Structure formats: C-alpha cells, structure tokens
C-alpha cells in the first residue's frame, strides 16, 4: 500500500478512537453533572418533582446523548478533511524529497526544494537544499580542478613532445635535450605531489605530529633555509626573536613559512627587505611575513588562496605549481591556526597564526624543555 492511503487511514483510525473515547467518557461522567441539576429541579417542584425524577433523568440523558451522536458525524467529517489535507502535504513533501534525491543521484546538483513553513518538513527541505548546494560547489570545484590541471599539464607535455621530436629528427643531440627534459619531469613530479597534498590537506587527511614547539626553532629554521637565497637575490631578510611556544607540527609549520618566504623573495625587488616578525596574543601566536613588493589588488586578496589562481597571468611555471598558498592555508587550519593576507602599495603582509602554549601547560609536560639560548 502506498504512503498516502496508509497515512490517511492511520489518521482516521486515530480520529475514530478519539471520538469513541470521547463518547464513552461523556456517557460515564455526564450523569453526575445532570443528576445534580435534576436534584435541584426535584427539590424546587416538591412531591410532584420526585414523581417526575425518572422522566427528568431519562430526558436529560437522552438529550445529551442525542447531541453527542449528532455532533459526532460533523466532528468526524471535519477531522477527516483535516487528515486528508495533512496527509496530502506530508506525502507531497516526501514525494518532492524523493524526486530531488533521484535528481541529485543523477548529477542534477542545481535541484532545490520549496521551503515553506517552520515545521520539521520545511527544515528537511532546507537541509536538502544545503546538501544540494554543497554538492554543487564540490562538482564545480571538481570540474574547475580538472580544467586547471589540464591547463598546467599542457605546457610541460608540449615541451616534452617537442624535445622528443627533436631527438627523433636528429635536430638536437641527447646531451642538449636531457637537461630540459629533466626540468619538465621535475615540474610534473612537483605538480603531482602538490596536488596530492592539497587534496589531502583540504579533506583533513594529512597526518600531523603536533607538539609543543618553541617559536624560535621555527624562526631559526626559516632563516637558515632562506638566508643564502635571499642574499643571492639582493634582498635583506630580517627575522625576529621570540621566547614563545606554539602547538604545531614543526615540519608542516616550516612548510607554510617556506612558501610565504619564497613568495616574499620573489616579489621583493633587489635592495628591499623582507621581515619575519612575531606577535604574541592571549591564545595565538602570529608569525607575519612582510614583503616590499608592489602589493596585491583588493579583488585578488582572498582569491590568491584558490588553487591555480593567478594575480599575474604572465606567471611562469618556474615560479611554482600554483597551489602553494592553498596548501599553506589548509595546513595552517589543520594545525588549529589560520593564514590571511593584507596588502597595500608598500607591500603585502601574510599572517600565519598557531595556538599558543602557555608556560603553565608547557611545564606540565615533563618531555618539554626550554630551547637553548632563551
């Protein structure tokens, strides 16, 4: 049996049971009510009233019972209409939900259900629409990612094809082609690794080794890694000192800082300065990277964290795979922090926050020791 007749019959059954119970309760309780009035009438009429007592009781009982029986059909009809309307609404909502679910399963992620009212059925429709919107965004991201990856792969594959044709035609000797082929292969490997990492980071599947880490260790590692590269570009790297501690994965936190410093070096002209500063708050520690580049236009500020987004369409492949900031933000969030950017004509400031570890919680862990020199 379909849902509508089952639901309607269930409503009718409840109505009939309720009406039967009402009739029984009335027949059981009403005599006590009208007997009180009959007694008052008998006392008022004297001896004649006592003789009429049976007729008075029978008449009043018959009148009340007749009124109840007369009202029952009207009550049952009104209840049946209400049950019909309610059942139709429930069945219509369930049918719409079923149709919408089939459309979603078929890939029609733009499908939405009407949202009317504030009851549970309306809330179910709203939740369905939220699910459909989320799936639509995922599908859009998937299609965009396929297009972006295809675009990124097109150039290295075209280069490899050109080199292979040059080898086959004897235009270039193997010794001349090998370095170029190696460069393109390295780019493809890096792109594959970055894509794998960003997908795992955004899905929350990156394994982290969270521990209490002295901020100075992160600063020293960043300075040691980039001092020579900055000097080669003629850019001054200034790194602050800090006695604070954070809760982080040292390797992943270093990866975030490496991406930020690499970008800062690339956009700061020779003779400029890049600063790596530390701001300590009550609950978080912020590591800020200030560059002396031309700044980022407001319409690009938030989009630079999107995969493969280009502020400058002329960006070359040698400048990275295009997902570095996406990975950096995902890793920062996975460690309980954040990554944001502000910019002006004087340069850009990337702020990387991590949960702060207080002295009390640090000393409660016997395995943690103070960093040397602090």
Domain residue spans of the chain: 3-108, 121-202, 212-363
Q: Which of 201, 181, 194, 199 is nearest to 152 (CA)?
A: 194
Q: How confident is the model at residue 156 (pLDDT cuts 50, 70, 90)?
A: confident
The radius of gyration of the chain's CA atoms, rounded to the nearest angstrom, is: 39
How far is the C-alpha of 260 from the C-alpha of 278, rounded, in Å?
14
- Rounded to an integer, the average pLDDT of 53-65 is 67
Nearest to 324 by CA among 276, 255, 273, 272: 255
Q: How confident is the model at residue 24 (pLDDT cuts 50, 70, 90)?
A: confident
- Cα dihedral value 215, 217, 220, 223, nearest 10: -70
> What gap in Å lies between CA 349 and CA 341, rounded to an integer?
6
CB 347 within 8 A of CB 328: no
Rounded alpha-carbon distances, angstroms, from residue 192 to 161, 180, 187, 329 = 19, 19, 9, 19
Question: How far, in Å, CA of 73 to CA of 81, rounded?
Answer: 12
For residue 269, what pLDDT is reported?
Answer: 93
Which position has the higher pLDDT, 65 or 256? 256
Q: Which residue has 């890049």 as its token pair?
A: 274
Question: What residues are paired with 352 via a beta bridge?
Answer: 287, 339
Report which secondary-structure segment, H or E, holds 237. strand 236-239
Asked if pLDDT for residue 372 goes beyond 50, the answer is no
pTM for the structure as a whole: 0.58
% of the chain exceeding 90 in pLDDT: 29
Three-state DSSP class for residue 370: coil
C-alpha dihedral over 46, 52, 56, 62, to 10 degrees? 180
The pLDDT of residue 38: 63
Segment 167-190 mean pLDDT? 85
Residue 318 in 3-state DSSP? helix
CB 310 within 8 A of CB 273: no
**More confident site: 222 or 95:** 222
Residue 11 is encoded by which pair of tokens?
Answer: 């409503």
**pLDDT attached to residue 333:** 92
User: In sequence order, which ranges of the chain are alpha helices (DSSP H)?
Assistant: 3-45, 47-105, 120-169, 174-202, 215-233, 250-267, 324-334, 359-363
Q: Token digits for 104?
A: 């979603």
* pLDDT per position as a tens digit, 39-50: 666 666 666 666
Stretch 17-38: mean pLDDT: 68
Query: Does the structural domain 121-202 have CATH classification 1.10.3470?
Result: no
Q: How many CB atoms lie within 10 A of CB 249?
A: 20
Closest to 187 measured CA to CA, from 147, 155, 223, 222? 155
Taking the C-alpha atoms of residue 246 and residue 204, their distance in angstroms, rounded to an integer, is 20
Task: Give the chain's mean pLDDT.
Answer: 80
How far apart are alpha carbons 42 and 245 in whole angstroms? 96
Are residues 30 and 64 in contact, defined by beta-carbon separation less than 8 angstroms? Answer: yes
Predicted confidence at residue 4, as pLDDT, reads 57
Query: Would you state the torsion angle of the CA atoms of residues 123, 124, 128, 130, taken in this order, to the nearest 10 degrees?
Result: 20
CB 337 within 8 A of CB 288: no
Q: What is the mean pLDDT of residues 107-123?
A: 79
Whether 12 has a pLDDT exceeding 80, the answer reads: no
Distance set, CA 119 to CA 18, 122, 126, 179, 322 (Å) = 24, 5, 11, 68, 47
CATH of domain 212-363: 3.30.565.10
Q: What is the dihedral of CA 129, 132, 134, 135, to 10 degrees?
A: 180
CA distance 373 to 356: 20
Give helix 120-169 / helix 174-202 axis angle, nearest 10°: 170
């Amino acid at each position: 049996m379909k849902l509508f007749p089952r639901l309607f019959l269930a409503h009718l059954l409840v109505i009939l049971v309720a009406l039967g119970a009402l009739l029984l309760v009335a027949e059981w309780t009403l005599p006590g009510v009208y007997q009180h009035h009959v007694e008052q009438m008998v006392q008022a009429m004297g001896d004649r009233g006592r003789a009429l007592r049976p007729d008075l009781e029978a008449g009043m009982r018959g009148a009340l019972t007749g009124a109840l029986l007369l009202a029952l059909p009207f009550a049952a009809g009104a209840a049946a209409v209400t049950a019909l309307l309610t059942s139709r609404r429930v069945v219509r909502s369930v049918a719409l939900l079923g149709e919408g679910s089939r459309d979603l399963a078929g890939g029609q992620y733009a499908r939405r259900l009407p949202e009317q009212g504030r009851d549970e059925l309306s809330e179910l429709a709203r939740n369905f629409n939220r699910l459909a919107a989320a799936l639509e965004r995922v599908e859009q991201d998937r299609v965009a990612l396929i297009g972006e990856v295809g675009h990124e792969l097109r150039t290295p594959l075209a280069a490899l094809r050109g080199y292979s044709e040059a080898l086959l035609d004897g235009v270039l000797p193997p010794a001349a082609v090998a370095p170029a082929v190696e460069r393109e292969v390295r780019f493809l490997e890096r792109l594959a690794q970055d894509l794998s990492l960003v997908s795992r980071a955004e899905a929350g599947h990156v394994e982290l080794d969270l521990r209490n880490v002295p901020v100075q260790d992160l600063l020293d590692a960043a300075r040691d890694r980039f001092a020579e590269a900055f000097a080669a570009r003629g850019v001054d790297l200034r790194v602050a000192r800090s006695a604070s501690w954070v809760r982080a994965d040292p390797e992943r936190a270093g990866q975030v800082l490496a991406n930020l410093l690499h970008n800062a070096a690339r956009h700061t002209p020779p003779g400029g300065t890049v600063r790596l500063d530390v701001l300590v708050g009550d609950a978080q520690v912020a590591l800020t990277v200030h560059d002396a580049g031309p700044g980022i236009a407001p319409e690009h500020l938030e989009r630079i964290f999107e995969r493969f987004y280009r502020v400058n369409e002329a960006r070359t492949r040698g400048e990275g795979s295009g997902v570095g900031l996406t990975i950096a933000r995902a890793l920062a969030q996975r460690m309980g922090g954040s990554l944001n950017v502000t910019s002006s004509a004087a340069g850009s400031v990337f702020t990387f926050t991590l949960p702060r570890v207080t002295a009390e919680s640090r000393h409660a862990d016997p395995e943690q020791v103070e960093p040397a020199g602090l």
